[in-house]
Structure 1
C-alpha cells in the first residue's frame, strides 16, 4: 500500500536525525524533568495531552472548510479559522514535548515530519485568515491530513505515547501486548 511505503520512507530519513536531535536537546533544556514537562505530557492524566488538544484546531479548520465550500459562508469560515489558529499553539507545545520523549530514530523522524506538516498547515490557515483566499484553506487541509496521518502512524504503528506512567491511585494495568493472552 502506498501510504505504508511513504510512512516507512519517512522512518528511514536518517538525514533528519541531526535536526531532530537538536530540537529534542533544546526542548529538554527548556522543560526536561520539570513540573511543566509533566503537566504538558499529561502525567496528571495518565496519557498524553497532545491528542486531546489537536481536536480543536482540526475541528475548527474542518468546520471552516465546510462553512466556506459547502455553504458559501466566508465569514463563518473566517471565524472558524481564527479559532483554529488560537487552538494551535497549545497543541504545538504539547506535541514538541512529546517529541522530546521519543527515543528511537524512526519515531523521531516521523515526529519531526509530522510537526513540519502541521507547521505548513498552520501557515496555510494563517494565510487564509489574513488574505481570505480559499486556496490557502485547501492547502492547509491537505497538510493537516498529512500531519494527522503521520501522527496516527506515530501513535498506532510506532507506539509513541504508549506505556505511560500510571496515574496515582489507579489500578496497575499489564502493558505487555501478550501479557493478557491465555497460555
Structure 2
C-alpha cells in the first residue's frame, strides 16, 4: 500500500465522526467568527495556517542540522522556538476546522493527532536537552521529525487533495482578473 492510499483511507475512518463533529461545534462556539476569519487569513488573501507551520518545521529541521554540527545550545534553542510557535499555529488550523466537510474533518483529526505526537516528542527532546541528556534529546527529535513528516503529509492531503481550508473570499482585493489575450 502506497502513501497515497494510506492518505485516502483517512477520509473513510468513520469512527472519528462523532468526536470530530463535537470538536467542530466546540471550536465554532468558543472562537468568535471574526477571530476565525482573521486566523484563516481573510485579511491576507491566503490561509494563515500553512504560513505559520513553517516556523516550527523550519526551527525543528534546522535544529537537526545544528545537532549534526555539534551545536547543542543552538539546537535546543531552536526546538524551544518551534515549541513556542505551536499554539498559534494550532489555533490557525483550528479556525479552519468547523467549516470542513466530514471527510476533511477525518483527515484533520489524523493530522492533528499525528502532529500532537510529534510535538510531544520534540517537547520531550527539549526537556532532555535542558537536563544535559543531549543524545536522548537528539533521538527524540529524530523520531519527532519523522512523525511530523507524516503529519505534514496528512495536512498536505487535506489542503491539496481534499481542498480543506480553501476559501474563495481570501482573494485579495488588489488582484484583478483579466481575460487572456487571444490571438487575432
Give the shorter-chain TM-score range: 0.7 to 0.9
Does residue 125 (structure 1) correspond to residue 122 (structure 2)? The answer is yes
Structure 1 residues 100-130: Cα deviation after superposition (integer angstroms, max 9, x where no partner): 221x221110011101111111111110000
Larger Rg: 2
Aligned residue for 1:177? none
Aligned residue for 1:145? 149
Q: Does the 8 A contact of 2:104 with 2:158 survive in 1?
A: yes
Offset, 1:27: 0.3
Q: Which runs of 5+ in 2 are unaligned?
A: 130-135
Q: Does the 8 A contact of 2:36 with 2:95 survive in 1?
A: yes
- For residues 72 and 108 of structure 1, do their structure 2 counterparts lie closer, same or farther at Cα, with a shift above 3 Å needed? same
Q: Which runs of 4+ in 1 moved over 3 A?
A: 166-174
Does residue 67 (structure 1) correspond to residue 71 (structure 2)? The answer is no
CA distance in 2, matches of 1:3, 1:171: 36
Q: Which runs of 5+ in 1 are unaligned?
A: 175-179
- For residues 11 and 167 of structure 1, do their structure 2 counterparts lie closer, same or farther at Cα, with a shift above 3 Å needed? closer
Higher helix share: 2
